[in-house]
Homo-oligomer: A and B are copies of this chain.
Amino acid sequence: MSAPPEADALQEPRRGELTAAQSRVIAAAVVLFSRHGVGGTSLQMIADEIGVTKAAVYHQYKTKDAIVLAAAEAELASLEAVIAAAEAAPSRTRARDLLITGMVGLAVEDRRTVNTILTDPVIGEFFARHEHFRDVMRRLHGLLVGDDAGAPARVRTAMLIAAISGAVMHPFVVDLDDEVLRAELECLARRFLGLPG
């Protein structure tokens, strides 16, 4: 595919460039995965969602697994961007601040998709097998609690990640405005970490 060289410096996840057709496939897949689970989503559903045939989808990705992998990495890329921004912060306090704000922002923005996809067993297997995911998690943990690899620190990080990504899709908050939810989540997340906020 041919793209204008200037205009698209913004959406490159650095890990494999997606063509426009591929982006359409992944966008549809993410929505459907979150609605029906990975196992409950067929290539026919993805094809229908973007208005093409199955064969056209197969031309972009040779197998369903390849689509699942690309969708998982697309989701991960958003988180990685937030982490990279936080790592570039001048101070540790500022870094944690950026991280909380960024993570809450991502979760609120996507709501239903983020956690459902992150907790899907099929995606979980991909993440467990791929070093890139573990690396991102390690960097996130480092920003939150430093080099401490003890049990309390690890449980703390796990709880914060689960709390933010899981809370946004809970029935209790479905009717809340994005801005209200974002503010409350940030406040409670900071308090959980013992930060001012």
Contact = CB atoms under 8 A, between A and B. Distances in A.
Nearest to A158: B170
A180 B162 contact: no
Q: Which of A158, A176, A180, A187 has the most CB of B within 10 A?
A: A158
B159 A37 contact: no
Contacts of A173: 151, 154-155, 158
A151 B184 contact: yes
A120 B155 CA distance: 23
Contacts of A44: none
A22 interface: no
Interface of A: 34-41, 115-116, 119-122, 124, 127-128, 134, 137, 141, 151-152, 154-167, 169-173, 176, 180-181, 184-185, 187-189, 191-192
